[in-house]
Structure 1
Amino acid sequence: MRLTVLGCAGSVNGPGAACSGYLVQAEGFDPVLIDCGHGVFGELLAHADPNTVSVLLSHLHADHCVDLAAMLVWRRWAPEPATGRSPLVGPPGTAVRIGAASSEYPGEVDDISDTYDVQEWQDRRKVELNGLVIEPFKVNHPPSTFGLRITGPDGAVLTYSGDTGVCDEVVELARDSDLFLCEASWTHDPENRPPNLHLSGTEAGQVAQKAGVRSLGLTHIVPWTDADAILDEARAEYTGPLQLVHQGQVIEVRPPFPG
């Protein structure tokens, strides 16, 4: 699998920094977009034809989904508009949430079924899409939020925490994965972070260590947080290779060599 980071800012975007958006593609298949927060659609245009992209949403906070309204405009009105519907899989209420963001009129909901075939996650029920097998895990974050375990055709496993506080489910989600893309929104300071919402760098490192992941990529760092401090916190807890992912980065996710 090839992972392209379209955006990785947490909660809000910043100058030249889009919110959550990750393009995943198995060789020989159309791409899949995981999350589509503020600024992601513009970055997507540099890497893929929006008319060929299927979409997976971890949850319905604006920084993870709201740029789908821009993709609807493109798919409907670009010189070569989409000729069919693309899969869109997300939490319960996805069609209403995106339809409300897309509507021209306050209080109304745009019918997006002309463009997207909307399905809803069910905890641990796998979905097969574009050469990938995706298993959703309900995690600890309001509203209904799912981390995703994605297995490619060669057996490589990419896991994505979505947004989550500490919970057993995120450890189970990440277990033995080749790359764990994990949110680490802020430093480990109880005064600055409410419980059951996001992970600190310390907590992200602890989850990765418990899960035995082969590598850790930290993401969803909010613009006002010290990213280097978060990296140091995670490094103190996790003994494997780790990095801060960055916008525009391309990562090849491969299974371990036999033996």
Structure 2
Amino acid sequence: MKLTVIGCSGSMSGPKGAASAYLVKTDTTTIILDLGPGTMGQLMNYIDPAEVDAIVLSHLHTDHVADIIGMQVYRRWFPGGPLGPVDVYSPGDGLFRTRQIGGDGPEENYEGEFTFHTVAQGDSVTVGDIDLEFFHAVHPVPALAIRLTGPGGEVLTYSGDTDYCEGQVAAAKDADMYLCEAAFEASRDTVRDIHLTGGRAGQIATEAGVKNLLLTHLQPWTDPDVVCQEARATYSGPIAVANPGGTFHVANPSRMGA
């Protein structure tokens, strides 16, 4: 699988780019994880949005879903004709949330652009050659971690927004890459059950046996050096910080060359 960071700014778009959105591709399958503010335009730098096979939303906060209306407009009014519906998976009522963002009434069901599916912890779906499993996350609204297993057995886990919980450890178990939010700095942010610090992200990665830790969702005022130092205190493996346009090849070393 190939992971491309479309946007990674936490809680809002930032001076370096859009809010949360991640493109996951194999040779035959294209999935978008989250569609935060500013990500629709950036997505066009990497793919034609018509190629998307599924949209998977970790939760329905605006900084992770606002550009679903941009996707809706693109699919409905594409000059070559309507593109038809794409599957959208989310915790909570994705249809209702999309109406809220679009300012549309109950008569609008977006059936020409989207097919909405509600998912919860313990659910699993298959999109093309990628298997997705959903795990509990701790956040003020229903939220999920997403474990994606590619055709070669490679595993990418996306934390979504969360604090430490056993669901994250289970979702990231032996993952080849853990794309993990780290919006908080330990010395600054003491509130719990909203976001991770670098230290708590590293703790999950260590307990889960993660092979690579990719920190993301850093707010514009969060210092990546501080977050990395915190993570290094609790995790000894490779650590990187997501940046817009960053690409990562997620591979299972035990399957390589097989």
If the length of structure 2 is used for normalisation, what is the TM-score? 0.95
Specify the alignment match of 1:216 in structure 2.
213
Moved >6 Å (runs of 4+): none
Letter in 2 for 1:139: A
SS at 2:233 equivalent: helix
Map 1:73-222; keep pairs closer than 5 Å.
Answer: 73-104=73-104, 110-189=108-187, 192-222=189-219
For 1:119, the aligned partner's letter is: H
What fraction of aligned residue pairs are identical, expressed as a percent? 38
| Alignment gaps of 5+ in structure 2 | none
Whichever residue aligns with residue 217 of structure 1, its letter is: L
The answer to whether the 8 Å contact 1:51/1:82 transfers is: no
Q: In the aligned structure 1, how far is the partner of 2:176 from the partner of 2:157?
A: 8
Alignment partner of 1:237: what SS?
coil
- The DSSP-based 3-state class of the residue aligned with 1:128 is strand
The amino acid across from 2:132 in the alignment is I
Matched, 1:42 2:36: no
Inter-CA distance 10–81: structure 2 relative to 1 (3 Å threshold): farther
Contact 2:59–2:90 (Cα < 8 Å) also in 1? yes
Could you give the per-residue CA deviations for residues 206-231 of structure 1, whole angstroms, max 9, x where no partner exists? 11111110010000000011111101
Letter in 1 for 2:43: L
**Alignment-mate amino acid for residue 7 of structure 2:** G
Relative to structure 2, which stretch is displaced further, 246-255 or 122-131? 122-131
Q: Is the 8 A contact 1:26 1:130 kept in 2?
A: no
Give, as a single letter, the amino acid of the residue that structure 1 aligns with 2:134. P
How far 1:258 moved relative to its partner? Answer: 5.4
Q: Separation in 2 of the partners of 1:175 and 1:30?
A: 23
Aligned equivalent of 1:24: 24
Deviations 1:165-212 (CA, angstroms, capped at 9, x unpaired): 1111111111100000000002112x5342111000111111111111
1:108, distance to aligned residue in structure 2 (A): 5.4
| Alpha-carbon separation, structure 2, partners of 1:112 and 1:258 | 41
Contact 2:15/2:220 (8 A) holds in 1: no
Aligned twin of 1:3 = 3
**Structure 2 vs 1, CA of residues 167 and 79 (structure 1 numbering), >3 Å: closer, same or farther?**
same
Q: Which residue of 1 aligns with 2:250?
A: 253
Report the 3-state secondary structure (helix = DSSP H, G, I; strand = E; otherwise coil) of the residue aligned with 1:192. Answer: coil
Deviation at 1:5, TM superposition (A): 0.3
Q: Shift in Å at residue 117 of structure 1? A: 1.0
Conserved? CA contact 1:24–1:32, under 8 Å? yes
Alpha-carbon distance change, 62 to 241 in structure 1, aligned in 2, over 3 angstroms: same
